[in-house]
Amino acid sequence: MNAAIEGILIIVMAISGSLGALFFKLATDRLPEGQILTLLRIPQLYIGLLFYAVNFITNIVLLWYMPFTIVYPITALSYICTLLISRIVLKEPINREKVLAIMSIAAGVVVLSL
């Protein structure tokens, strides 16, 4: 497959994973205590599920064209996207500990697949 298309798919996979998490967070933040079924009435839940579906499909398509040992560590890219999206959308603080922690996790996933 064309390298440009692969690159785009990788970016889509990383971002859709984080956006899925973002919308799950937005959905469950407005969930009343102990009322899990109310979740089904919150539109953000379905947007989150949609992003997760995109994440799932791009993951599978990438696996058709690239070896598992390359696609696998790329999934950790999502966590870096999550750090940025949580800062921009949710205004969550970024501190040095958090950055080092996520770097360490991403490095760990890369080493696992060597």
Partner 1 sequence: MEHDQEVLSAQGVESTQGAGSVLPEGSASLRENALEMPKARESSPAAAKKSEVSGKKEKAGHGTLKLGIAMMLLSAVCGSTGQLVWKVAPDTGVPLLLYLVGVLLYGVGAVLMMTAFRYGEMSILHPMLSAGYVIGLFYGAVFLKEEITWQAVVGTLLIMIGMFFLGRSGKSEEGQS
Q: Which residues bind partner 1 (CB under 8 A)?
A: 18, 21-22, 24-36, 38-39, 41-43, 45, 48, 76, 78-79, 82-83, 85-87, 89-95, 97-98, 100-114
Measured CA to CA, the distance from residue 55 to residue 35 in angstroms comes to 28
Residues 20 and 55 sit within 8 Å (Cβ to Cβ)? yes
Of the two residues 34 and 67, which places its CB atom closer to partner 1 in the complex? 34
Of the two residues 4 and 76, which places its CB atom closer to partner 1 in the complex? 76
Report, in Å, the least distance between residue 61 CB and partner 1.
20
CA distances from 60 to 30, 48, 49, 57, 87 (A): 32, 19, 16, 5, 29
Name residues whose C-beta falls within 8 Å of residue 80's C-beta, 6 or more positions apart in sequence.
Answer: 14, 102, 106
Report, in Å, the least distance between residue 58 CB and partner 1.
18
Report, in Å, the least distance between residue 65 CB and partner 1.
22
